[in-house]
Amino acid sequence: MSIGGEQIRLRISNAFGVSPLPITEVTVALPFNGSAGVSAIQPQTLQRLTWSGNESIVIPNGALAVSDPIEFDIKPESNLAVTMYLADGQTTNYITSHPGSRTTSYYTLGNEVDATNLTITNATEQSSLHW
């Protein structure tokens, strides 16, 4: 987060996608110790996002979605952990990504939006630098 505040909204882009992006659920939290790239969060900060009051959204290709605002105290220059679940996955390999993110992303099968730690424990989970 570049600036702090008492409320946040999340923007998710499908600007370069060639098909709709179906997002089932999204949560945000502060990462453990405020660190980037860690697999754990501060559980007391975990909050679910909504989109016009709905937990799920389908973002059309070429579009941007902005979540409803939530009460979330965050200091300037803080890290934020975002967990997304796509029940239907993606229909293509053309995705809008941030290859210069310089942090670790975690992937797993199933819905882990309420997980407090995504420690890699089996073959269905993996991490990736710079996604």
Q: How many CB atoms lie within 10 A of CB 77?
A: 10
Q: What is the mean pLDDT of the chain?
A: 87
Q: State the pLDDT confidence band at 79, using cuts at 50, 70 and 90.
A: very high
Q: What's the rounded Cα separation, in Å, for the pair 116 and 131?
A: 21
Could you read off the pLDDT of 2-15 as tens digits, one per residue?
A: 889 999 999 999 98
Mean per-residue pLDDT for 46-71? 97
Query: Counting every residue, how long is the chain?
Result: 131
Q: What's the rounded Cα separation, in Å, for the pair 129 and 75?
A: 25
- Contact between 97 and 15 under an 8 Å Cβ cutoff? The reply is no
- Contact between 38 and 118 under an 8 Å Cβ cutoff? The reply is no
Q: Where are the chain's structural domains?
A: 5-129
